[in-house]
Amino acid sequence: MRKILLFVLLAVLSGIFAAQNQAAENYRVVDGDSLEKGTLRIRLEGIDAPEYLQDCYDAHQEKYRCGLKSMDYLQELTAGKIFCKALSRDRYGRQLSECFNAEGQSINRQMVVSGWAVAYGDMYQSEEQTARANKSGIWQGKFMRPELYRAINRAKDKRNKIKKM
């Protein structure tokens, strides 16, 4: 009887893990801090990456597309199977999540440690300090914090709409 129960338990657990792995596939990278899975929009909790078209300057003062670099790095990190844990929703209705690779390492944390995202809020502050000290990613040169970049571009868009009136 014990062998049968053990067999049933293992079969059930195998099914759960298989379903988890299946659910971990098919994420699409939108930008350096956002993913999509079907109609589900996911924002990586605690990080803010350069915007898709945002430019930065490297250590030699050369302009480069840091938003694209950040997105490329997130694509590398999500190339294998990943699992995202839903934490809450943001004001736009996106699921705020922490995502993990197959080894259980936090993708959110890795984006900040690598310097391709900054800490957003209290999470990952020490990881940001490490990236800054190592001059990793966007910290190799000069950049505008993504939050400020978005605010300036919203203000420019607003001015342009007023001029067209």
Q: Terminal CA-to-CA distance of the chain, rounded, Å?
A: 80
Q: Is 119 helix (H, G, I), strand (E, B) or coil?
A: strand
Q: Tokens for 155, please give them.
A: 């203000």
- Domains annotated for the chain, with CATH where assigned, are 27-155 (2.40.50.90)
Type of residue at 17: F
Closest by CA to 84, choosing from 123, 127, 44, is 44
Q: What is the pLDDT of residues 89-127, one digit of tens each?
A: 999 999 999 999 999 999 999 999 999 999 999 999 999
pLDDT in tens, 75-88: 999 999 999 999 99
- pLDDT at 26 (0 to 100): 79
Q: pTM of whole model > 0.85? A: no
